[in-house]
Structure 1
Amino acid sequence: MKRTASVVSATLYAVLLAFAPTASAKDYKTETVTLSAETIADGLDHPWGLAFLPDGALLVTERGGTIRIVKDGKVSKPVANVPKVVVKGEGGLLDVALAADFAKSGTIYFSYSEPRPNGAGTAMARARLVRNGDGAELDNVSVLLSVKKSTTKSAHFGSRILVAPDGKLFVTIGDQGTMQRSQDFKDEAGSVLRINADGTIPADNPFADGKKGLPEIWSKGHRNPQGAVWDPVTRSLLTIEHGAKGGDEINEPQAGKNYGWPVITYGVDYSGAKIGKGTHAKGYEQPLYYWDPSIAPSGLAVYEGSMFPEWKGDLLAGALKSQMLVRLDRDEKGAIKGEERMLKGEFGRIRDVRVASDGSIYLLTDESDGKIIRLTRA
């Protein structure tokens, strides 16, 4: 069962891409186009996040705690000086993004499950990427965000990083495995956070004075958001998050609003028991779109490239459990009209989806032998 309303998302990195594929391309027919899929790189350990570098290389995180650079089909040795991470369940090294001024500063942002004496918690840091020949290292690593309350659980760390057009950062944080934390406005868990590029708090954040909520909180009531994108159609942030048994959602998080988890949800507990009050309650926002049964979504992009003009403005989402790429067809105002499920079972668990400047689409597969797949027009 699915419902729509209006939605969006997308963010492109301006880059020149020239990769030598490691396997021959294979074609797949969709409702509107034929895709040609080729493997750009393989042998990655559960790759999680991807960013396009200006010279055409790819910056890729591996959940086990390493960052790699992939260029011309070659995977680099691990980038040096990456902080230690807790690799447990869903925890590990997560997303990566380039700063708006990366070409000048070399600054990157990355999120991870941070080790503590009493457990772990989601953190986001920045560092300068220094490349030297075939290698690279992180310099001047500094933590900009860290969930204060630790967890001993191993689920729902989030976490995607979005650099908005105004240079501010949105960071999605899961409920850290305890659903009630998503309704505590003095806890970063279960939130979308918003900060300046230097880690300070924007003056126009909804709780900037700290009285009713932590000043870094943008929105609350999220379960485990693993996709975030800036939508050029609606000029707003879009996120995608895991429900429990059913209730995966796409949301358009607005300042200070509460998106319901676990008070309202379109899913039920894994035991089949009811969660919260049902699907609606006063003071809680409805999703733009939801899935029941769940697909386990991760990664979200808005298609704005020239390679597939038929898909202009549509949303692309990866699916872990359902092992597919989902295209959400939208109208010119961003409202979702329908859904197409593509590549089902062809590449395994799709962890991340990115659109390159040439209009091609990149997928990361969440496997011990993880791959980078490039989709072009056949």
Structure 2
Amino acid sequence: MFERMRREEVCPTCQTLTALVAAFAKHRCLEQGEKLHCFVIRSGLTDPVLVASFLDFYAKCGEMESSAKLFEEFKGTGSCIWSAMMWGLIHHGHFLQVVHLFGRMLNSQLAINADMLQGLVISYMELGASRLGKSAHGYIIRNSHAAQYENSCYLETSIVKFYARCGNIHLARRCFNNIQQRDIVAWSSMIEAYAIHGNGKEALALFDQMLAEGVMPNGVTFLSLLSACSYSGLVTEARALFDCMVRKFGITPELGHYTCMVDILGRSGNLDEAAQVISAMNVKPDGRIWGALLASCKTHSNVELASFAARKLMELEPDNVGYHVVYSNVQAGSGDRWPEVEHIRRSMAVMDVQK
């Protein structure tokens, strides 16, 4: 469409170019994006949003040096430039640099918005910096009346996830209760928090409360619920949730949902049912789901099914030494399959893999 515009001599605007840069960033089209950047420089068309789009584009294409160069050149033109730089660093896992960048924001007297604060909270969460994260939360509380933060639900949800990841589920729930307008992301995040803390019953109770308040679940919500059931050993509840997801809400299961179900059923000893879930899937199984089945077979000493799962894994990931070791241990645990153990170990030596 952009090429047709050029041929028909229709002059693009900054908004047109921003949309085009976003498309290149999504598909990681580095060469086309660089050519467009040259066109923008020659034409003199620029505004802070377009510059921020290019900064985001270079970050997503792995060209952080180009992003940093753009940032230093245009950092005084708008807050969106700072936000784009922050999220580019987060995209590459440079969380400590995000913290330093936020310090520069404060020193530059820049107006801090919710997007920047969300990036800071996420960085503290990834760094496990509990005390600094609490300080950021205090800053947000102190300035919440003076500043009208846009998309504050996203910011508050990030705070919930921060406390959950840092081990304080009670503070996470308190912050969740304080969110005035909770969207599906907030509900799913709190359910996930209960899941990672092994509180399956609380996750299910929160799901019932969510439905009672008229919030419709999505695939992520059910993935968090199934994870909670897996951690807590709630087999019956997991079966009911999976059936509810498909029949009541019409959500098509994805690979993550199937993997959770295989893990839940396998842990509880329902290995045949777990294998049936894999065979009935509408998506292609990957190494994780076969690995979950293999681990359960080891736990419950099912050598035959373990051999089947191991063969599938070897086809998908022949260089993964962990699967070879688990398969070898399953054979050794049966007590009468030492030739098979020796064959597996010999094949590992041939492939030059080490435990």
The answer to whether the superposition gives a TM-score over 0.5 is no
Larger strand fraction of residues:
1
Q: Tell which has more relative contact order, 1 or 2 (C-alpha 8 A, sep 6+).
A: 1
* Structure-1-length-normalised TM-score: 0.26
* Structure-2-length-normalised TM-score: 0.27
Larger helix fraction of residues:
2
